[in-house]
Structure 1
Amino acid sequence: MVDINMRIKYLSTFFISAMLFSTTTFADLQKGIDAANIGDFETAKAEFEYLAQNNYAPGIYYLADLYANGHGVARDYNQAVLLYEQAVKLGYEDAMFALAVLYQDGKGVKVDSSKAAELFTQAAKKGVVAAQFNLGVLYTNGIGVAKDYELAIDWYTKAAAQNYTLAQFNLALMHFEGLGTPKSISKSYIWNTIAEFNGNKDASQSRKLDERKLSPSEIKLAKEKAEEIYQQIVAGKYVDGRRI
């Protein structure tokens, strides 16, 4: 007969051990990141290699970054690709984005826009804001995917909701041109204003152009809406850009 108390004791010990390993790996990761931030790439590499050997996705990702950027090692895109691929298999979203960029630029792999789009999509669905923006660009221009302005707007909106100013500016352009959505100078003004709040100088110039096409009352309403949406974005509560 199996001693149930022994089984519970074993499971408790295993759980505590798993917690200790998790805490240790996070500490090692932070030690590696801190070392890299001050230019101590030898220490960073040692920490990341240890974590990679233990199949810890963030450690594998940061080790790949060292090879991709030539920090503490000779730049080696081929090795970076291999490591990013390992982290991607473990579901690490930052590695999905980094690998997508390499496929987009043809570094360590042949240029493959479709593969890049696939990886950007994986990362975007996990909330990586730069991937969401890049997908918007791909769908706007039909790079690696079929051109689809509505999908472009959807991805720009997701990125804009995370206060990504380039996505906010591009949303304004889509509304101004009527791409994937009815043409609306008011909505263009709104998103240009929001992007301008984030210091986007191009958006500032575009907003001034929008202003010439709007009445004083329309400008007042658009400005109020922009401020309202911006506060929602900052609070992490903005979701649907199609309902403004």
Structure 2
Amino acid sequence: MFWIGDLFLGIHPAIYAFRPPWRSIVVAAFMLAAMPTQLAHAQQAKSAALVIANTTYAALPADKDAASDAKTIVDALKVIGFEVEMVSNVTKADMAQAISATKARLGKGATLLVYYAGHALQFDQKNYLAPVDLKLARAAELPTAGIALEQLLDDLGGRPSASTIVIIDAAEKNPLAGGKIADADSISDGLARVTSLPSGTLLAYSAAPGSVATKTGNYASALAAAFKARGKGLDTVLKMTRARVVVSSGGNQIPWETTALQQSVILYPEEDKPVAEEPNACDLSAGHPSDPERVGPSVDYANLDPQIAIPACEKAVATEPGNMRFKVELARALDKAGRGEEAAVLNAEAMKANYIGAYHNMGNLYRKGLGVEQNLEKAFDLYLYAAERGHPEDQSNVGFMYMRGDGVAKDYQKARFWFEKAAAQNWATAYDKLGLLYLNGWGVGKDPDRAFAEFGKGANLGDAPSLVNYANCLKDGVGTRKDARRAYQYYTQAAHLGSQAAYINLGFLNLSGEGTEKNLTEAAFWFTLSSREGNEEAQKRLNQVNAILSDSEKQKLQERLDQWSRRRFG
């Protein structure tokens, strides 16, 4: 079954997952305690930076660009007022000492920026910075010989009322490839996506997870130039950097970041202007992932709790009636509560003030027919207005509506144009849709290899449909060699993100023993989850498996289902 929305296209059992694009795809933790909007001023705490350049290695090729890239960043940070410490060619012990010394000189509430240029290796979906004394006999030694990125983030992050920015300029092909160690192939190109960050931390890569930087020095120079844009928030700085790199690399390198920041950070503030704006309870309970003016972390639509968000946002609107961000966040919470008419009034007010996020919200209402008469043409026009002004989710929405012919004449060429726009901003679901275009030959020549690559980009960003479609390609040998074991791994990742398509595929793989050991109890588990979502084929298979399970196996199945429910729902 090849899923596009509610349409079946293709052959069972490969299920190409699709999620309605107006739903947010980013899942972020959010705080529930009420917090007033606060401004942190430049004189309160001096921003500090640690810049690390590893160029000469004992057992790895030299990274000849690391020193010049690091100097480019040091010079820019000094211009914008950071206290900068630069260290070069650090061992693992040197790194620990540098981190400790940097933390010791931080004032309360200070912004910390750490930039690393050098080799970094991905092993078993984990990242390790390479100290210059790194020596490996086999890849499995990396967790002890390398510097674990997640541990580094934990060491740096979690400082109350402060922000930590970690930038890794090390997206490269495996530097140990070519037989330098026996199991070099187990080290992957590029960096792995990090799914959990300490509170108040942002992590940025010079290229998206799993991909490789294509031009040396382009990320550091673009980042340094963006740093010097006075009065710009960090999200804007990184967006400016990404735009420059996309252009300079011909679209082949797309920088990436993930965030758990609790405030909007301005690295180079205007004179006597704030360096950070902290989110209040409304931002924390209803902030939209794709709102270009969002402050603080975002909340996925599925996780938005109207009982918390509505009173928090009503209070924020009453306190600052001229702040359109709060009105749009309240509208979003009212939308989730089914109170579309009230949401439409607030969105209309914010649209008059040209708040771009309001156009997105109103487009959603017209698409669903909530509080307004359903009108796909109107929804398309609203999305297009926001898309033309750089809103990544609406660029993807416009592409989707062109692809489907919803509210506009079907046009695969225009769909591809807008999906590529959204993908250039790392809007993950756009990669999935580009993969579908190339897989099916919609508006382009059929290109399974390109489809597989696009699905992989979305999978690296944690998009559940991309993960499923990437797994389908691996399972069926589409655009790549067959690899049922890897397919099983990607289906499992998608399943933990709630993908119904992943559930049934995992059921079939456990039933057949393809990519994993044959396990009827595990097959029944996944078929049960799929059948709960209304999948008739899964229910049929579940009945067949249940008929041959022993009582003890059925008991294990129930325990497995209970464990799943506790993990997902508390």
Q: Give yes or no for contact 1:159–1:167 (8 Å, CA) kept in 2.
A: yes
Q: Give yes or no for contact 2:357–2:386 (8 Å, CA) kept in 1.
A: no
1:8 to 258, 267, 271: 271
Higher relative contact order (CA 8 A, sep 6+): 2
- Note the C-alpha offset of 1:155: 1.2
Q: Give yes or no for contact 1:192–1:207 (8 Å, CA) kept in 2.
A: yes
Matches within 5 A, 1:20-59: 24-38=355-369, 39-59=374-394
Count of aligned pairs between the two proteins: 230
1:111 to 446, 452, 455: 446
Aligned to 1:155: 490
Aligned counterparts of 1:122 and 1:180: Cα–Cα separation in 2: 22
Is 1:169 matched up with 2:504?
Answer: yes
Structure 1: which 5+ residue stretches go unaligned?
A: 236-244
Which one-letter code corresponds to 2:505 in the other structure? N
Q: Give yes or no for contact 1:163–1:233 (8 Å, CA) kept in 2.
A: no
- Note the C-alpha offset of 1:163: 2.7
- Note the C-alpha offset of 1:154: 0.8
1:204 to 503, 515, 539: 539
Aligned counterparts of 1:222 and 1:62: Cα–Cα separation in 2: 40
Q: Give yes or no for contact 1:175–1:183 (8 Å, CA) kept in 2.
A: yes
Which one-letter code corresponds to 2:533 in the other structure? N
Comparing 78-87 with 44-53, greater Cα deviation is found at 44-53
- Note the C-alpha offset of 1:149: 0.9
- Note the C-alpha offset of 1:18: 5.5
- Note the C-alpha offset of 1:48: 2.7
Which one-letter code corresponds to 2:405 in the other structure? G
Q: Give yes or no for contact 2:429–2:466 (8 Å, CA) kept in 1.
A: no
| Cα gap change, 1:68 to 1:149, in 2 (>3 Å) | same
Aligned counterparts of 2:517 and 2:473: Cα–Cα separation in 1: 21
Aligned counterparts of 1:166 and 1:60: Cα–Cα separation in 2: 25
Q: Give yes or no for contact 1:36–1:44 (8 Å, CA) kept in 2.
A: yes
| Cα gap change, 1:104 to 1:10, in 2 (>3 Å) | same
- Note the C-alpha offset of 1:151: 0.9
Aligned counterparts of 2:380 and 2:551: Cα–Cα separation in 1: 59
Partner SS, residue 7 of structure 1:
coil
Aligned to 2:556: 221
Aligned counterparts of 2:421 and 2:462: Cα–Cα separation in 1: 20
| 1:215-235 deviation per Cα after TM superposition (whole angstroms, max 9, x unaligned) | 222222222222322442345
Is 1:193 matched up with 2:513?
Answer: no
Aligned counterparts of 1:41 and 1:209: Cα–Cα separation in 2: 43
Comparing 182-191 with 143-152, greater Cα deviation is found at 182-191
Which one-letter code corresponds to 2:484 in the other structure? Y
Q: Give yes or no for contact 2:392–2:427 (8 Å, CA) kept in 1.
A: yes
Comparing 37-46 with 114-123, greater Cα deviation is found at 37-46
Matches within 5 A, 1:121-140: 121-140=456-475
- Note the C-alpha offset of 1:185: 1.8
- Note the C-alpha offset of 1:21: 9.1
Q: Give yes or no for contact 1:194–1:230 (8 Å, CA) kept in 2.
A: no
2:419 to 60, 64, 84: 84
Relative to the length of structure 2, the TM-score reads 0.37
2:409 to 74, 86, 93: 74
Larger Cα Rg: Structure 1 or Structure 2? 2
Aligned CA-pair RMSD: 2.9
Aligned counterparts of 2:275 and 2:556: Cα–Cα separation in 1: 60
| 1:111-156 deviation per Cα after TM superposition (whole angstroms, max 9, x unaligned) | 1111111111222222222222222221111111211111111111
2:429 to 87, 91, 94: 94
**Which structure is higher in strand share?**
2
| 1:5-39 deviation per Cα after TM superposition (whole angstroms, max 9, x unaligned) | x93335669xxx96679772211211222233344
Aligned to 1:238: none
| Cα gap change, 1:104 to 1:213, in 2 (>3 Å) | same
Which one-letter code corresponds to 2:432 in the other structure? F
> Identity rate of aligned residues, in percent?
24
- Note the C-alpha offset of 1:89: 1.0
Which one-letter code corresponds to 1:227 in the other structure? D
- Note the C-alpha offset of 1:159: 1.7
Partner SS, residue 430 of structure 2:
helix
Structure 2: which 5+ residue stretches go unaligned?
A: 1-80, 82-268, 277-291, 295-322, 329-354
Relative to the length of structure 1, the TM-score reads 0.81
Is 1:60 matched up with 2:395?
Answer: yes
- Note the C-alpha offset of 1:71: 3.3
Aligned counterparts of 2:399 and 2:531: Cα–Cα separation in 1: 35
Partner SS, residue 110 of structure 1:
coil
Q: Give yes or no for contact 2:429–2:465 (8 Å, CA) kept in 1.
A: no
